[in-house]
Structures are given as C-alpha cells and as structure tokens.
Amino acid sequence: MNAYRAPLGDMQFLMSEVFRADEVFAAMPGTAEVTPDLISAILEEAAKIAENLLSPINRNGDHEGCQWTDGVVTTPAGFKEAYEEYVAGGWAGLTGEIDFGGQGMPKLLSSQIEEMFFGANSSFALYTILTTGATLTLSEHASAELKQRYLPKMYEGRWTGTMCLTEPHAGTDLGMIRTKAVPQADGSYRITGTKIFITAGEHDLTENIIHLVLAKLPDAPAGPKGISLFVVPRNAVDNEGDLTGELNGVSCGAVEHKMGIKGSATCVMNFDSAQGWLVGELNHGLSNMFTMMNYERLSMGLQSNGLADSSYQTAADYARERIQGRSPTGPQQPESAADPILVHPDVRRMLLTMRANIMAGRALSMYAAMQLDISRFHPDPEQRQQADRLVALLIPVAKAYCSDRGFEMCVMGQQVLGGHGYVAEWGLEQNVRDARIAQIYEGANGIQALDLMGRKTVRAGGELLAVLLTEMDKFVADAQDIPGMDRYLPHLLNNQQMIRSVTRSVIDRASDNPEEIGAASYAYMELLGLTLYNFMWLRILAAVLPKLQAGSGDTPHLSGLVKTAEFFFARLLPRTRALIDEIEAGAQTLMAMSAEEF
C-alpha cells in the first residue's frame, strides 16, 4: 500500500497564484495577519501530520474499527495517541474565535488541511471536523455565558463536539423529530429522545463530548418551525465550565456496522432527561444548525476529493511501474518484457479523468471556502451579502458534485490497478468504501440537487445564479487580455449561454407543473457542477499561462496543468450537452408509471 502524500504543490499554487489568498486576507481585518509565509508554514506542518501521523494508522483503523461494550466506545489502536498529538500541536482551535482561545484562521486555509486529513485517514478526520462545526455554531449563536463555558476547552481539544439531528423515523424531514425539550425553573431544559447516525457521538479520545441537539418544546409549532437547538454535554458541566463528576443522562446505545469509515464511531445516542441549554432563539434551531451544515457539507466534498487524490497517487505510481503489454506505437522499454501500462491510451484516460476532476474539485472547494470567509470577515456589508448569496448556490454543488466525482475517481483508481485494486493491500478498496458515505450524509446528494433546483433557483427566480454568472463575466473581462486565453474562454461563454437558457426553461415549466423541479434537479446540479469545474480550470489557466510564457515556476508542473485542462475541455466538458437534453426531457417520463408498475 502506497503512503499518502499531501499535494502541497497544487494546494499552494491554487492558494497563492489562482485565488491570491494573501490579497483576500489582507482586505479583511479578521484575517490580515494571515501572511503567505504563515500559510505555507501551516500547510507544511499539516502535511506532516497527514503523512506521518494519520496515514500510518488508516488501514488499521479500517481493520479494527470501533468497539462498543455496555455503552463504552473504544477507537482503533493508535487513534487516541494520534489525537493527543493533534491536540498538542494546537490544531483543534485553528479556526476558533480568538476571544475564547481559538486561532481565528480562515476556512480557505483550513479547507486544504481538511482535504489532507481526509485523504490520509477519513475516519480520524471526522472526529476533528465535527468539533470545528459545533464550535462555529456555538460561536455564532450561543450566549456569551455558554460560549465561555464550552468553547475554550473545545478549542483546546479536551472536549469534542457533535451535531444530533437524525432520528429513527426522521431523516431529511426533520420537522418530524420527536425529541423533547422541557423547560426548567433554572432556565435549562430536560432533553429526552433518541438520535441515530451521530458521528463521534461516543468515543475514548476526550474527557467530555458536547452534543448540539435539535428538539421541540411540548407546545412548539408543528413542523420545522418548531425546532430549537440545545447544547447538551455528555458529562455535567458547572457554570464555570468545569466537570462536576456526574453523568448527564446521555448514553450510547450502539455503534453502526458500516461499509466504510469504520474507525469513526457512528452512534445511536439516547438522551434521558439530559440537561441542556438553549442555543439562540426558541424555534430557530434549524436555521442555527445550518451555520454548521454549510461548513460540514463543504467538508464532504473535501473528504471525497482527498480520497480521490489518495487513489490517484496510488494509481499513477502503479501505472508508471506495472509492465503489461506493449505500446500501440511499438516497444517503449525494449529491454523489458513489456511496457508500463501508462503507455496505453485507456489507462491515460482514467488517470487524466481523475486528475482533471480532482484539481477542479479542489479549486471549487477553495472558491466556496473563500466565499465563506468573505461572508464572515469582510468589513463591507455588500461584499458579505454577495458572498452569502454565492455560498447558498455553491454549497449544494460543492457537496454533491464533488462527492459524486470523488467516489467515481476512487472507483476509477481501483480500475487502473485491476485485480490489485480489489484486494486490501493497496488501499484502494478502502478508499472506495470510505468515499461512498459522502454522497449520503449531511443531506443526501439528491436532496442537495433538489435544494439547488427548487429553493436556490426556481423559487429565487434565478437570482443566485445571476450572481455567479456575473462573477464569471468579470473573470472573462479580466482574462481576455492574457495571451493564450482566447483559445479557452469560449468554453465558459458557451456554458453560460446553455445554463441561462435551461434555467429559464425549468422556471417556466415549473410554474405549471411543480414536478418539473425534481425531474430536472439532479441533471441541473451536474450541469452547474461541470460549469463550475470549467470556470475553475479557466482560473487555473489564467494563472499558469503567464508563468509559462515568462519561463518562471515549475515548468513540468505548469505544462501538466495545461494538458490536463485541455483534456477536460475536450473529453469531459462536452457532457453538458447530454445534461441539457436530460433536463429538457421534462417530468413526464419520470412520473408516468404507477406505483404498481414499479
């Protein structure tokens, strides 16, 4: 099994040359001290953690899994020691609020660290990102008292966090939840109910686990409008933020036996009159939790991309070394019994498809993360609003399209290795299993597509899409003077014209038949995903071409990016036409069959 290698070269190029992170950070007081040298230093240290600490325990974590005995969950060998080293390095509070002990680093930076950690060891990474999301939600919505009680120890890594949404009968439709919150005289609430699929709900890594729980008061309005959010510690905490030594009515009833991410504890959590405190306002729990969900959904795209890159590394190395058959143009290594399989066009098709999708997916995740930073840190309210609108459109795509492509790329890497990809020793079958969950959790990809098509496009009258298209127009105006870009810009202009036209068509059809929204949603999400990958590759070329022309930078790396981009435009982007045809086919062929005919 090949060891994971952090893709620092690509990440640093995207950060510094494509997105010019130093200029973005310098324009915002909250990130002005995040200099290029600091960015490089943090990424390099994160790469060491990924390569030397997390990657070596990845396979064992999959083999051993998490063990549950009488409510106690034990993580795989090496996880606890790795977590202690992770905490000692200060990583737990990297993006946290400075006033409570965090380091205040931006998402654009932390997103790349997440990708590395996911690529090296997805199960371990999940323990860390849930805490990051929980602390963000507390930071944005909790009272000053609650923040002081919980955030410092969570930023220290002494306590971890979760989010508890799903119940046995209520997944996507959270308005159906039954978990109850009963008000108490001291201002707290007693929380009773069962939550399932809770990542890191119970484990042995820390002394306490802080749960963010969705629940309803007895007299709450029906449906989603009656949901409130509560912070519920596993172990009781006093007003000063210290453990009291008592349990708090929170227990783990079981851990799930899963296809992948076996080193991550996926728990059934029982709340038996557990004491909790309201986060934000009553009946605003779902909107408050979505502060966390936007970040978590972006993380699912990062997980898939990290695993896809891990698979690409193994597949590319294998293709250079495995000898089998001869090149169609004649022997390339006549001294050997055969040529490396890299000489075969179909092997190159797979590797180039992987590289084209991974690089564009990484760039899209960074672009979305940059918008999250602008919406959080920028001093100009108009800029923050613009970024918020872009985030609303980008997150469903960054979650669904990136996780779909990431899983497919893991399967494709497996295919490059043939039979060796199917056996455990090379690690690719684990990557396939670990990547599969990203299409399902944090809102299944079909729901992401429906949200994009319905709420974010049809109901918004196409206004959010117009914001993105305007950003593309600005890019084209700036890039058209770069020598060589005139060959590539028409790809985006054609794409924009297609998506404008099909968006109007769906909006018009949906006014007469609401089923048109769901019928178009998945193909539309994929169309917008391909359009965004197109946009990302053009942004990459706009940074690469001037360097090549000036003879500066790493020429093989830069020329490889150009050739990968040309492969994308020639062989992957043409699928937009088929997606347009699928969308225009309408709802009839989907809805014509009766239930009995299925």
Token representation of residue 361: 């997916």
Token representation of residue 151: 């955030």
Token representation of residue 426: 């090379």
Residues designated catalytic: 442
State residue 545 phi and psi, 5-degree precision: -60, -45
Q: What is the pLDDT of residue 214?
A: 97
Contacts of 487 (CB under 8 A, 6+ apart): none
Q: What is the pLDDT of residue 372?
A: 96
In order along its 598 residues, the chain shows pLDDT tens digits of: 679 999 999 999 999 999 999 999 999 999 999 999 999 999 999 999 999 999 999 999 999 999 999 999 999 999 999 999 999 999 999 999 999 999 999 999 999 999 999 999 999 999 999 999 999 999 999 999 999 999 999 999 999 999 999 999 988 888 899 999 999 999 999 999 999 999 999 999 999 999 999 999 999 999 999 999 999 999 999 999 999 999 999 999 999 999 999 999 999 999 999 999 999 999 999 999 888 888 999 999 999 999 999 999 999 999 999 999 999 999 999 999 999 999 999 999 999 999 999 999 999 999 999 999 999 999 999 999 999 999 999 999 999 999 999 999 999 999 999 999 999 999 999 999 999 999 999 999 999 999 999 999 999 999 999 999 999 999 999 999 999 999 999 999 999 999 999 999 999 999 999 999 999 999 999 999 999 999 999 999 999 999 999 999 999 999 999 999 999 999 999 999 999 999 999 999 999 999 999 9
Q: Map out the domains of the chain as residue ranges.
A: 451-589
Q: What is the pLDDT of residue 1?
A: 62
Q: What is the pLDDT of residue 254?
A: 97
Nearest residue to 111 (alpha-carbon basis) of 43, 187, 162, 204: 43
Cα gap 479→193, rounded to integer Å: 56
| End-to-end CA, the chain | 44
Sign of CA dihedral 154, 159, 165, 166: positive
Token representation of residue 351: 């590797």
Helices and strands, number each (H, E), in the chain: 20, 11
From the number of C-beta atoms within 10 Å of its C-beta (0-12, 13-18, 19+), residue 262 rates as buried
Q: What is the pLDDT of residue 510?
A: 97
Q: What is the pLDDT of residue 460?
A: 96
- Listed in sequence order, the DSSP H helices in 488-514 are 489-510
Nearest residue to 229 (alpha-carbon basis) of 168, 293, 282: 282
From the number of C-beta atoms within 10 Å of its C-beta (0-12, 13-18, 19+), residue 201 rates as buried
Helix (H) or strand (E) holding 453: helix 445-453
Nearest residue to 534 (alpha-carbon basis) of 575, 477, 582, 579: 575
Give, in degrees to the nearest 5, the angle at Cα 57 between 101 and 257: 95
Which residue matches tokens 């990845």?
58
